[in-house]
Amino acid sequence: MKIGSLSEDKDLEKRISITPEVAKKYIGLGLEVYLDLNYGSHLGFDDSQYKDIGVKVLADQNDIISNTDLLVQLNLLNDDKLSKIKENQTLIGVFNPYNNKEKIETLSKKKINIFSLELLPRITRAQSMDILSSQANLAGYKAVIESFANFKKAIPMMMTAAGTIPAAKVLVVGAGVAGLQAIATAKRLGAIVSAYDVRLAAKEEVESLGAKFIIFDEEALKKSQTTGGYAKEMGADYKKKQEQALEKAIPKNNIIICTALIPNKPAPLLILKKTLEKMQRGSVIVDLAVETGGNCELSEIDKIIDHNGVKIIGYANYPSRIPGDSSTLYSRNLFNFIKILINQETKKIKIDLKDEIIEKTLIAHQGKLMNL
């Protein structure tokens, strides 16, 4: 069987799906690997590194599409490339099916198998394939580094003969994977950290990292988590209390890291303009939720907004801002997923719909849309 990957549009995406380390593993499974010229050169992976382990490096991306049974990507390819994918070919990536439904429907009509790995079930067996967690972890780290770079003061407490400078105060809004990594990173660098989440289950995790958990309605929080472990959208009464609590807590902090998301819905609006206007000049907000609407009212995608001296950073795709490590983890996640797809005897793809991991991530199969 032949597996391939095309270079992404590097203006939008600097991560890659197959590192040399993982290419070697695919070849060890008995697969042939096809990549295009300079596929990983921007990350320090020369074509020679791939060729030396047996990867076939082709000059024309269309030849990769026509020669392979399986294509692995980060994002959905452009329309021209998608039109060249063959019947029964398999496509694996992170395809945001709710926003790309029309394109996926068109591909489905060609009987193309499509897997979107952000739909992985939250079960123990899927942990090694969990692209959301691996990428969110790095995003949380990078968001803190970005915020500290834009904050024009010291982060830890500084004691000098001229006096003491207090530690910066950081509030992390949303204590999922990205939020917890943001807490850990900020604590390691000497900040005083607090966190807020609608899930009461997050309290113990936040406090285990040495941060203070903001809580104002414990009874409501007990009902705020889905069976899958994600945050629910809360009712109007709770949202009003939440708004009042955050309006009080946010101005006490120098840096806010926003990570709150609701699966398959716009991000919850948590930081209103009126709250921003109570913050100290020089404060910084990083909104990791900007791609789904943002947690901050004034966030704009891929922009830094200065509002009365408060910087609001709305960069999209934070994992792509640390592409080396993000690619390493993503390519390993992909490999672990593909291993369960490959029949070890025939070396061909076997789509077992009785396997929960395969069934949940499959969005197009035999001409039908699934999980949409």
Compute the distance between CA of residue 222 and CA of residue 197 in angstroms, rounded to an integer.
Answer: 12
93 in any annotated domain: yes
pLDDT score at 346: 86
129 in any annotated domain: no
Active site residue 50: no
Scored b (16 or more CB within 10 A) or e, 293-312 reads bbbbbbbeeeeebeeeebbb
| pLDDT tens sequence across 120-130 | 998 999 999 99
Q: Which of 122, 217, 321, 325 is catalytic?
A: 122
Render each residue's pLDDT in the chain as its tens digit; 372 residues: 999 999 999 999 999 999 999 999 999 999 999 999 999 999 999 999 999 999 999 999 999 999 999 999 999 999 899 999 989 899 999 998 888 888 999 899 899 999 999 999 989 999 999 999 999 999 999 999 999 999 999 999 999 999 999 999 999 999 999 999 999 999 999 999 999 998 888 999 999 999 999 987 666 555 555 555 555 566 788 788 888 999 999 999 999 999 999 877 899 999 999 999 999 999 999 999 999 999 999 999 999 999 999 999 999 999 999 999 999 999 999 999 999 999 888 888 999 999 999 999 999 998 889 887
| Residue with the two structure tokens 């590192």 | 19
Active site residue 61: no
Q: Which of 89, 108, 116, 133 is catalytic?
A: 133
Residue 34 near residue 68, CB atoms below 8 Å: yes
Residue 172 near residue 183, CB atoms below 8 Å: yes
pLDDT score at 344: 83
Query: DSSP characters for 43-106?
Result: GTB-HHHHHHTTPEEES-HHHHHHH-SEEE-SSPPPHHHHTTPPTT-EEEE---TTTSHHHHHH
Active site residue 133: yes
Active site residue 230: yes
Residues 315 and 351 in one domain: no
Coil, strand or helix: which one is 17?
Answer: coil
Residues 207 and 222 in one domain: yes
Coil, strand or helix: which one is 2?
Answer: strand
- Dihedral pair phi/psi, residue 35, rounded to 5°: -135, 165
Residues 167 and 280 in one domain: yes
Rounded alpha-carbon distances, angstroms, from residue 126 to 23, 57, 102, 147, 340: 21, 31, 28, 32, 11
Residues 167 and 97 in one domain: no
Q: Which of 7, 108, 116, 130 is catalytic?
A: 130
Label residue 219 exposed, middle or buried (CB < 10 Å: 0-12, 13-18, 19+). exposed
- The CATH number of the domain where 260 resides is what? 3.40.50.720
pLDDT score at 70: 96
Residues 190 and 257 in one domain: yes
Active site residue 130: yes
130 in any annotated domain: no
Compute the distance between CA of residue 274 and CA of residue 44 in angstroms, rounded to an integer.
Answer: 46
Q: Which of 49, 69, 217, 230 is catalytic?
A: 230
Residues 225 and 311 in one domain: yes
pLDDT score at 232: 57
pLDDT score at 98: 80
Residues 353 and 207 in one domain: no
Residues 329 and 288 in one domain: no
Residues 215 and 293 in one domain: yes
150 in any annotated domain: yes
Last residue of a domain, one of 321, 340, 358: 321
Residue 69 near residue 49, CB atoms below 8 Å: no
Q: CA torsion 18→21→24→28, rounded to 10°?
A: -110
256 in any annotated domain: yes
pLDDT score at 201: 85
128 in any annotated domain: no
Residues spanned by the domain of 47: 2-119+323-367
Q: Which residues are CB-contacts of 323 (< 8 A; sequence separation ≥ 6)?
A: 14, 15, 16, 42, 43
Label residue 105 exposed, middle or buried (CB < 10 Å: 0-12, 13-18, 19+). middle
pLDDT score at 210: 96
Residues 273 and 216 in one domain: yes
Number of independent structural domains in the chain: 2
Q: Which of 52, 60, 98, 127 is catalytic?
A: 127
Nearest Cα to Cα of residue 308 among 286, 269, 279, 270: 279
Residues 290 and 162 in one domain: yes
pLDDT score at 129: 97
Q: Which runs of consecutive H residues, i.e. helices, occur in the chain?
A: 20-28, 47-52, 61-67, 79-82, 101-109, 131-150, 177-188, 202-208, 218-221, 236-249, 273-276, 323-341, 356-361
Compute the distance between CA of residue 288 and CA of residue 145 in angstroms, rounded to an integer.
Answer: 13
